[in-house]
Amino acid sequence: MKYSWIALVFLLCACTSGPNHQEQMVEKRLWEYQLLTHLNHFKSYPEEARLQRLTGMVRVAFVVDAKGNLIRHKIVSHTGSDLFVGAVEALIPTASPVPAPPPSMLRKGEIEVVAPFVFCIEQGACTGSPPQRI
């Protein structure tokens, strides 16, 4: 009988932690969407690249604090023209602050994210990957 109570306690703990994990996943996805939407408002296609019909992607790692301030960033990789790197370097400071991340995503008051900035002339012809948490 003693072991059945222990099993019941473990079962209750598992049931109560399930929805919390699901809520955190929903919060994470919502924040990722809000973050990319916010950043894309500041993105501009370099005119020279547009005239040459160039496409590419710049992946940027950046750190966001609990209030949404962009603390630091670095270019992780890029494809296509260096014009895109310059465009992303110009937008990062102007995009701060970004939507604040959910507290459950923070480690020591901040989070590091890698996000793609896709430059494509035709909508839907290029795809990027969602931001990744480091």
8 pLDDT more than 60: no
Domain range annotation of the chain: 2-133
Q: Can you give the pLDDT at residue 22?
A: 85
Alpha-carbon Rg of the chain, whole angstroms?
Answer: 20
CA proximity to 67, closest of 94, 97, 42: 97
CATH number for the domain running over 2-133: 3.30.2420.10
pLDDT range class, residue 14, cuts 50, 70, 90: very low
Q: Can you give the pLDDT at residue 5?
A: 36
Question: Which run of H or E residues covers position 63?
Answer: strand 56-65
131 in Cβ contact with 32 (< 8 Å): yes
97 in Cβ contact with 120 (< 8 Å): no
Question: Which run of H or E residues covers position 6?
Answer: helix 2-42
Q: Can you give the pLDDT at residue 134?
A: 43
36 in Cβ contact with 131 (< 8 Å): yes
pLDDT single digits (tens) 22-34: 888 899 899 999 9
